[in-house]
């Protein structure tokens, strides 16, 4: 755990009268797996959009990957990776073409792209299907590829927005293996999920309720604090009384 | 018990892909039946066949004693169907959506208000809000109200809890429980294993096939090996170490613990504990646990994949 | 009946809540008519004229005055040599030059004819042709009034019947009606049905006691009414703002328009039965309906001057038949007896499409 990769101080986003994210203060270190949870409409998506430089904050301070969110949004974008549930790969391109395309987007040179593609195909054991269209591959492979592509440009941090939604239990766990390995190499992981067992795989968790941080701690400490057995119970206890819409 | 839904050898292919294969089961009247499986397991296709929206390529199927191919018009009047994405009109208000779906079935909201009161009362404060502006949880409740408003005899809910937060999911299942108490037959599909225990019976679905069919407790008896929950200070290192071990049959992370099976028939918890401590792990705990639904699902998946590879 | 009423109500909610669609629906006829009526015209005004008068006598002055007061020309330049003419054209300062020969008046009186040269900028042939025509008629007119004793000879006196002033609004209004009706009816219905397919609500509608006919008719009726409102707006605007006449029976015009709307709606429904996404429906409607309606119906380019294959294709375009009907009724005052064939063609097209749509409409996914 070294210098913070994400640091926010009272980061706030308003839409008119509505405060979508209210004074979010976080410090996330390099290599940390940080879980970001909350009910629908609790402000998760807005927070992620701010942290990825897609949405300008209303007030508060924030640096991501060493860049200020207000002045260095381009620098932020260059140093982060992003993957969502509907992993942004192209189904009608082959594995190799997908890698090539995304590497190109991140501005890698032709030589680097060739080298990276070769490496990636080997480590992911996708050499045999390199020229197969993505559409015909099993979901688990696509997911692996999507994650690898999201971190192809060696970002400092990767945002995973419900990366395992609708995925079978085995594939889900294989995906978490990849997350652990990447975190071991020093990549910071910022992940959202609706699976509460996955919440327990995170180093630290933040639960958002109505735009505010309701609790931010290690999963074990949270369970101890609420005197319950699982994260699911923590979540339900926290989110329920505040639900007013 | 009378059968509400009968599925006999149903198969369906889209072009080259066999999306459903030899699914056979029946659902009794008043039963809350769950189809558990990930995306691509064939759940949606099966629901569409039962809702008379798709024709099966093989086998036959009956809903309320009526054939899904021949008597589709009669079936449609008597079932409620909620597709995977909550099919509401985003530009219509909560109330207008409900009134529309009531009118489509030739009834009114008032006539069947009793049935939906429990669910709809939570939405009533927002009845003038456009459906497109609702949160996921509220959309889901509105979609359920719309599917119920004509008092159907069988309810088909295709992944009603996908993309919905844990709190809304819990509330949703409480509602299903109350509908079941009123005698409604409910078929529901879900990728969430933890929801399976709330069903009367469940079917595991994987790649178009049914892996198993039983009550939630019954299905776990298919898990035959002794199962250990192992915890240690460094979970990730523990996972790697156990996987590397030649004795390991399976190692999977489950929340804060690892679920482990050994390929030695009579290995004991304390033996495992000692071995791990010898490997330098601290704060180790090993206990024998009852396998859960997810353990069973994983085991069955592996078994099938193993047999496919042979 | 109850369920059908509910369906209609819902359709109207959709139409009026989607501001963009509502704006297109009601704004488009207005904007297009104003555009075609004011901005896009075939007639020419205020042509910059240069005069190279080598005679400088009473007659040439009278002719020049007559040209200047005709309303078509603006005297821009007095020219003094043939060189200067070329230069003025190159500069773009003038669009027409007129050269009177030396001793114009005396020759006119002596011989009964004198030479005047009319030069125009041939880089825009259409305009050139039109302004040469104007000049010719002004000169002719002058000669007829000033020299009644003119020699005998055969002279063609053109008269544009039905549209004597050659007003382009008269020409565009029927085309515009066809275009608007096609767009509102076919594009909007096909999009509205495919939208339900995309959002998954069609799935729920199918699994209800609604019958395909009810769904189709429920989609047709609102757009039918809206299109009709648009027809009335366009005809009223055309007649009150632009003075486009309706020489034939207004009732007949409305009835024929209703028939065309039904045909267009059937086309829209048919498109929606063979597509499943809004995007594709839009592409088909635009590429398959809008462009042919503009280009092949006779709206802008006359069908008669098209090569044979295109002429044959144009027969398949409902707008072509509708245009013949509308031009007939509005500009020529034609009665039903002369347009029954075109009416029949439209009716058959509509019926075939409607039956095909209902047959093709899938009761399953």
Regarding predicted confidence, which is higher, A13 or A106? A13
Residue B30 has pLDDT above 70, yes or no: yes
Q: Please state which of the ranges A31-40, B7-16, C87-96 shows the lowest mean pLDDT.
A: C87-96
pLDDT average, residue stretch B152-173: 90
Q: Is the Cα dihedral C71, C77, C83, C86 positive or negative? A: negative
For residues A79 and C348, give the distance between their C-alpha atoms in angstroms, rounded to a whole number.
Answer: 64
With H, G, I as helix, E, B as strand and everything else as coil, classify residue B25.
strand
Identify the pLDDT of residue C165: 55
Average pLDDT, chain B: 92
For residues C18 and C152, give the distance between their C-alpha atoms in angstroms, rounded to a whole number.
Answer: 69
For residues C362 and B54, give the distance between their C-alpha atoms in angstroms, rounded to a whole number.
Answer: 11
What is the nearest CA distance from B142 to chain C, expressed in angstroms? 14
Percent of chain C exceeding pLDDT 90 equals 16
Q: What is the CA radius of gyration of chain C?
A: 28
Confidence of residue B255 (pLDDT cuts 50, 70, 90): confident
Q: For residues C273 and C266, is the Cβ–Cβ distance under 8 A?
A: no
Going by C-beta distance under 8 Å and a sequence separation of 6 or more, which residues neighbour residue C238? C33, C37, C169, C173, C244
For residues B10 and A243, give the distance between their C-alpha atoms in angstroms, rounded to a whole number.
Answer: 43
Phi, psi of A65 (to 5 degrees): 55, 35
Alpha carbon A212 to chain centroid, angstroms: 19
Please name the residues between 127 and 146 in chain B that touch chain A, using a CB distance below 8 Å: 135-138
With H, G, I as helix, E, B as strand and everything else as coil, classify residue C181.
helix
- The subunits that touch chain A, with at least 3 C-beta pairs less than 8 Å apart, are B
pLDDT tens-digit map of B265-285: 889 999 999 999 999 999 999
Pair of tokens at residue B105: 């079935």
Q: Is the Cα dihedral B295, B296, B298, B303 positive or negative? A: positive
Query: Other CB atoms closer than 10 Å to residue B310's CB: what's the count?
Result: 4
Regarding predicted confidence, which is higher, B154 or B255? B154
Residue A242 has pLDDT above 50, yes or no: no
Regarding predicted confidence, which is higher, C296 or B10? B10
The verdict on a CB contact (< 8 Å) between A231 and B255 is yes
Q: Please state which of the ranges A230-244, B36-50, B217-231 shows the lowest mean pLDDT.
A: A230-244
Please tell me which of the candidates C6, C208, C209 has its beta carbon nearest to residue B99. C6
CATH architecture for residues C51-161: 3-Layer(aba) Sandwich (3.40)
Task: Kindly list the residues from chain A whose CB atom is less than 8 angstroms away from the CB atom of residue B159.
Answer: 166
**Residues shown for chain C:** 365
Confidence of residue C161 (pLDDT cuts 50, 70, 90): low
Burial code (b: 16+ CB inside 10 Å, e: under 16) for A220-241 equals eebbeeeeeebbbebbbebbee
Percent of chain A exceeding pLDDT 70 equals 96
Going by C-beta distance under 8 Å and a sequence separation of 6 or more, which residues neighbour residue C306? C296, C314
Pair of tokens at residue C72: 């078509």
pLDDT average, residue stretch B6-19: 93
Interface test with B, best of C208, C215, C361, C365 (most B CBs within 10 A): C208
User: Do chain A and chain B touch with ≥3 beta carbon pairs under 8 Å?
Assistant: yes
Using CA coordinates, name the residue in chain B closest to C195: B89
Q: Name the β-bridge partners of A159.
A: A82, A190
Domain ranges of chain C: 29-39+168-364, 51-161
Closest CA to C94 of C135, C66, C36: C135
Helices within A128-185 (DSSP H only): 139-150, 169-184
What is the nearest CA distance from B65 to chain A, expressed in angstroms? 32
Please tell me which of the candidates B163, B164, B206 has its beta carbon nearest to residue A168. B206
Identify the pLDDT of residue C148: 60
Closest CA to C182 of C261, C258, C294: C261
Using CA coordinates, name the residue in chain B closest to C197: B87
What is the nearest CA distance from C132 to chain B, expressed in angstroms? 58
Q: For residues C173 and C330, is the Cβ–Cβ distance under 8 A?
A: yes
The verdict on a CB contact (< 8 Å) between B89 and C205 is no
For residues C96 and C121, give the distance between their C-alpha atoms in angstroms, rounded to a whole number.
Answer: 7
Confidence of residue B1 (pLDDT cuts 50, 70, 90): low
Q: For residues B223 and B195, is the Cβ–Cβ distance under 8 A?
A: no
Q: For residues C121 and C90, is the Cβ–Cβ distance under 8 A?
A: no
With H, G, I as helix, E, B as strand and everything else as coil, classify residue B193.
helix
pLDDT tens-digit map of B83-96: 988 889 999 999 99
Interface test with B, best of A35, A38, A39 (most B CBs within 10 A): A39
For residues B197 and B199, give the distance between their C-alpha atoms in angstroms, rounded to a whole number.
Answer: 5
Give the DSSP letter string of B219-281: HGGG--S-EEEEE-S-HHHHHHHHHHSTTEEEEEEETTEEEEEESSTT--HHHHHHHHHHTT-
What is the nearest CA distance from B67 to chain A, expressed in angstroms? 31
For residues C245 and C329, give the distance between their C-alpha atoms in angstroms, rounded to a whole number.
Answer: 10
Q: For residues C187 and C290, is the Cβ–Cβ distance under 8 A?
A: yes
The verdict on a CB contact (< 8 Å) between A40 and B136 is yes
Task: Kindly list the residues from chain B whose CB atom is less than 8 angstroms away from the CB atom of residue C13.
Answer: 89, 91-92, 96
Helices within chain B (DSSP H only): 43-50, 72-78, 94-104, 113-120, 136-148, 166-181, 216-219, 235-244, 269-278, 293-309
- The pTM (predicted TM-score) of the whole model is 0.83
Q: Please state which of the ranges A30-44, A137-151, B265-279, C24-38 shows the lowest mean pLDDT.
A: C24-38
Q: Please state which of the ranges C134-143, C308-317, C340-349 shows the lowest mean pLDDT.
A: C134-143
Confidence of residue C101 (pLDDT cuts 50, 70, 90): confident
CA–CA distances in Å: residue A166 to residues A143, A199, B161, B192, C83: 12, 16, 11, 8, 82
User: Do chain C and chain A touch with ≥3 beta carbon pairs under 8 Å?
Assistant: no
The verdict on a CB contact (< 8 Å) between B170 and A219 is no
CA dihedral A177, A182, A185, A189 (to 10 degrees): -120
Regarding predicted confidence, which is higher, B183 or C42? B183
- Residues of B within an 8 Å Cβ radius of C: 48, 51-55, 72, 76-77, 79, 81-85, 87-92, 96, 99-106, 146-147
What is the nearest CA distance from B89 to chain C, expressed in angstroms? 7
pLDDT average, residue stretch C25-47: 74
Identify the pLDDT of residue A243: 46
Regarding predicted confidence, which is higher, B308 or B186? B186
Q: What single DSSP character describes residue B21?
A: E
Pairing of strands C96-100, B17-28: unpaired
Identify the pLDDT of residue C42: 58
pLDDT average, residue stretch C191-211: 88
pLDDT average, residue stretch C132-140: 81
Q: In what order do the strands lie in the sheet with B17-28?
A: B17-28, B3-14, B58-63, B66-67
Interface test with B, best of A31, A166, A189 (most B CBs within 10 A): A166
Query: Other CB atoms closer than 10 Å to residue B140's CB: what's the count?
Result: 27
**Residue bearing tokens 């429920």:** C218
Query: Other CB atoms closer than 10 Å to residue A75's CB: what's the count?
Result: 17
Please name the residues between 186 and 215 in chain B that touch chain A, using a CB distance below 8 Å: 191-194, 206
CA–CA distances in Å: residue A179 to residues A45, A183, A216: 21, 6, 21
With H, G, I as helix, E, B as strand and everything else as coil, classify residue A170.
helix
- Residues of C within an 8 Å Cβ radius of B: 2-3, 5-7, 9-10, 13-14, 17-18, 199-201, 203-210, 363-365
Identify the pLDDT of residue B141: 93
Return the top range by mean pLDDT from B53-67, B124-138, C69-83, C177-191.
B53-67
Going by C-beta distance under 8 Å and a sequence separation of 6 or more, which residues neighbour residue B113? B120
For residues A89 and A86, give the distance between their C-alpha atoms in angstroms, rounded to a whole number.
Answer: 8
Interface test with C, best of B77, B103, B143 (most C CBs within 10 A): B103
What is the nearest CA distance from A226 to chain B, expressed in angstroms? 16
Pairing of strands A157-161, A188-192: parallel
Task: Kindly list the residues from chain A whose CB atom is less than 8 angstroms away from the CB atom of residue B136.
Answer: 40-41
Identify the pLDDT of residue A64: 94
**Residue bearing tokens 């005998």:** C152
Identify the pLDDT of residue B7: 96
Task: Kindly list the residues from chain B whose CB atom is less than 8 angstroms away from the CB atom of residue C207.
Answer: 51-53, 76, 79, 81
Identify the pLDDT of residue A245: 42
Pairing of strands B154-157, B32-36: unpaired
pLDDT average, residue stretch B184-190: 96
- Is B222 near chain A, with CB under 8 Å? no
Please tell me which of the candidates C3, C13, C201 has its beta carbon nearest to residue B87. C201
Task: Kindly list the residues from chain B whose CB atom is less than 8 angstroms away from the CB atom of residue A177.
Answer: 239
Average pLDDT, chain C: 83
**Residues shown for chain B:** 310
Q: For residues A197 and A208, is the Cβ–Cβ distance under 8 A?
A: no
pLDDT average, residue stretch A140-158: 90
What is the nearest CA distance from B8 to chain C, expressed in angstroms? 21
Phi, psi of A213 (to 5 degrees): -75, 115
pLDDT average, residue stretch C63-67: 85
pLDDT tens-digit map of C267-283: 999 999 899 899 999 89
Pair of tokens at residue A30: 């390099």
Task: Kindly list the residues from chain A whose CB atom is less than 8 angstroms away from the CB atom of residue B137.
Answer: 39-40
HSE of B40, CA atoms in CB hemisphere, 13 A = 13
For residues B193 and B37, give the distance between their C-alpha atoms in angstroms, rounded to a whole number.
Answer: 8
Identify the pLDDT of residue A237: 86
């Amino acid at each position: 755990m070294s210098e913070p990769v994400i640091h926010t101080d009272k980061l706030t986003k308003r839409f008119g009268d509505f405060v979508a994210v209210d004074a979010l203060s976080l410090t996330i270190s390099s290599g940390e797996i940080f879980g970001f949870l909350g009910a629908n409409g609790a402000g998760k998506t807005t927070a992620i959009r701010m942290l990825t430089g897609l949405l300008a904050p209303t007030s508060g301070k924030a640096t991501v990957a060493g860049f200020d969110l207000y002045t260095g949004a381009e620098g932020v974008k260059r140093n982060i990776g992003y993957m969502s549930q509907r992993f942004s790969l192209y189904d009608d391109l082959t594995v190799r073409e997908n890698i090539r395309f995304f590497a190109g987007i991140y501005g890698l040179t032709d030589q680097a792209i060739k080298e990276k593609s070769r490496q990636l195909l080997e480590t992911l054991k996708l050499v045999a299907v390199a020229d197969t269209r993505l559409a015909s591959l099993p979901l688990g492979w696509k997911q692996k590829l999507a994650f690898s592509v999201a971190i192809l440009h060696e970002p400092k941090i990767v945002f995973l927005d419900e990366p395992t939604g609708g995925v079978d239990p085995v594939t889900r766990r294989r995906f978490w293996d990849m997350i652990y390995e990447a975190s071991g190499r020093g990549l910071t992981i910022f992940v959202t999920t609706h699976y509460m067992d996955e919440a327990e795989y995170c180093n630290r968790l933040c639960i958002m309720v109505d735009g505010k941080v309701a609790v931010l701690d290690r999963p074990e400490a949270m369970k101890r604090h609420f005197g319950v057995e699982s994260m699911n119970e923590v979540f339900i206890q926290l989110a329920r009384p505040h639900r007013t819409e | 018990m009378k059968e509400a839904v009968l599925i006999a050898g149903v198969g369906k292919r889209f072009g080259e892909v066999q999306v459903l294969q030899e699914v056979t089961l029946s659902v009794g009247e008043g039963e809350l039946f769950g189809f558990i499986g990930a995306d691509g397991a064939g759940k949606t296709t099966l629901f569409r066949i039962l809702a008379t929206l798709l024709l099966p390529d093989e086998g036959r199927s009956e809903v309320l004693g009526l054939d899904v191919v021949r008597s589709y018009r009669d079936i449609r009047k008597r079932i409620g169907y909620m597709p995977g994405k909550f099919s509401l009109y985003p530009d219509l208000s909560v109330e207008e959506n409900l009134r529309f779906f009531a009118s489509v079935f030739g009834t009114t909201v008032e006539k069947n208000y009793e049935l939906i009161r429990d669910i709809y009362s939570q939405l009533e404060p927002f009845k003038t809000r456009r459906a497109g502006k609702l949160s996921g949880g509220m959309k889901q409740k509105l979609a359920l109200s719309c599917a119920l408003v004509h008092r159907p005899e069988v309810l088909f809910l295709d992944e009603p809890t996908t993309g919905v937060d844990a709190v809304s999911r819990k509330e949703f299942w409480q509602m299903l429980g109350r509908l079941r108490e009123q005698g409604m037959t409910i078929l529901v599909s879900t990728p969430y294993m933890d929801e399976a225990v709330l069903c009367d019976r469940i079917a595991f679905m994987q790649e178009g096939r049914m892996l198993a069919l039983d009550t939630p407790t019954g299905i776990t008896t298919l898990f035959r090996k002794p199962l250990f929950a192992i915890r240690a200070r460094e979970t990730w290192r523990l996972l790697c170490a156990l996987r590397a071990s030649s004795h390991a049959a399976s190692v999977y992370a489950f929340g804060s613990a690892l679920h482990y099976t050994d390929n030695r028939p009579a290995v004991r918890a304390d033996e495992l504990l000692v071995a791990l401590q010898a490997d330098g792990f601290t704060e180790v705990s090993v206990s024998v646990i009852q396998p859960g639904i997810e353990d069973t699902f994983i085991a069955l998946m592996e078994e099938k994949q193993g047999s496919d590879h042979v | 009946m109850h369920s059908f009423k509910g369906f209609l109500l819902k359709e109207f909610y959709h139409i009026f809540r989607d501001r963009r669609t509502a704006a297109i629906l009601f704004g488009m006829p207005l904007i297009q008519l104003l555009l075609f009526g004011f901005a896009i015209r075939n007639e020419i005004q205020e042509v910059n004229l240069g005069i190279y008068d080598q005679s400088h006598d009473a007659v040439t002055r009278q002719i020049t005055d007559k040209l200047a007061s005709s309303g078509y020309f603006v005297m821009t330049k007095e020219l003094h040599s043939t060189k200067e003419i070329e230069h003025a054209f190159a500069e773009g300062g003038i669009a027409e030059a007129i050269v009177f020969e030396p001793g114009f008046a005396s020759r006119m009186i002596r011989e009964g004819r004198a030479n005047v040269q009319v030069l125009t900028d041939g880089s825009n042939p259409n305009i050139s042709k039109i302004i040469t025509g104007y000049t010719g008629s002004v000169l002719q007119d002058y000669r007829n009034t000033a020299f009644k004793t003119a020699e005998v000879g055969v002279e063609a006196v053109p008269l544009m019947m039905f549209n004597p002033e050659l007003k382009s609004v008269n020409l565009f209004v029927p085309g515009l009606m066809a275009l608007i009706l096609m767009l509102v009816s076919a594009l909007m219905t096909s999009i509205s049905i495919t939208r339900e397919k995309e959002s998954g609500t069609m799935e729920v509608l199918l699994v209800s006691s609604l019958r395909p006919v009810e769904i189709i008719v429920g989609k047709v009726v609102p757009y039918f009414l809206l299109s009709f409102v648009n027809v009335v707006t366009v005809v009223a605007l055309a007649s009150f703002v632009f003075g486009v006449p309706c020489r034939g029976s207004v009732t007949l015009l409305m009835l024929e328009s209703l028939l065309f709307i039904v045909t267009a709606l059937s086309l829209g429904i048919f498109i929606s039965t063979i597509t499943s996404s809004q995007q594709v429906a839009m592409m088909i409607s635009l590429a398959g309906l809008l462009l042919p309606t503009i280009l092949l119906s006779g709206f802008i380019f006359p069908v008669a001057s098209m090569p044979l294959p295109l002429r044959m294709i144009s027969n398949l375009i409902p707008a072509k038949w509708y245009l013949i009907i509308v031009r007939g009724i509005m500009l020529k005052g034609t009665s039903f007896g002369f347009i029954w064939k075109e009416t029949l063609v439209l009716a058959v097209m509509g019926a075939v499409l409607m039956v095909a749509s209902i047959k093709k409409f899938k009761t399953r996914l």
